[in-house]
Amino acid sequence: MVLIMLELNSQEEKFERFWTLIQEQAGKENSKFFMDCGEGREIETDEISGEDISGWLIPMSQVLEFEKEWRKEESKLDAWDDRLRIAEWNKSGAKITINLSRY
């Protein structure tokens, strides 16, 4: 049981590192990225685990407004369609970068 929990924690930590790369890229655009769903094209290294992810790139000035609607069980996010993006990873050597492009 302990071995399974260690593996889970390791996978979660690897995804958290990947998620941090996405949020750092969003921060360069003075925005925050909100995940919708995974889109495939997975990456797995000793340090990182993730895949391309669709979601919304929301300017910091609108985060509270968006997050309130995003957290609702039956959210109405059509008004935010112009903010839809896909977070796509790229690997060059050992370096992994994220590109946030229109979805």
The domain in which residue 42 lies consists of 2-102
pTM, two decimals, is: 0.87
The tens digit of pLDDT for each residue in 44-89 reads: 998 999 999 999 999 999 999 999 999 988 888 999 999 999 999 9
* Residue 18 clears pLDDT 60, i.e. is over it: yes
* Residue 12 clears pLDDT 50, i.e. is over it: yes
Number of domains in the chain: 1
Q: What is the mean pLDDT of residues 24-39?
A: 97
DSSP state letters, 50-102: E--EEEEEEEGGGHHHHHHHHTSTT---GGGGGGEEEEEEEEETTEEEEEEEE
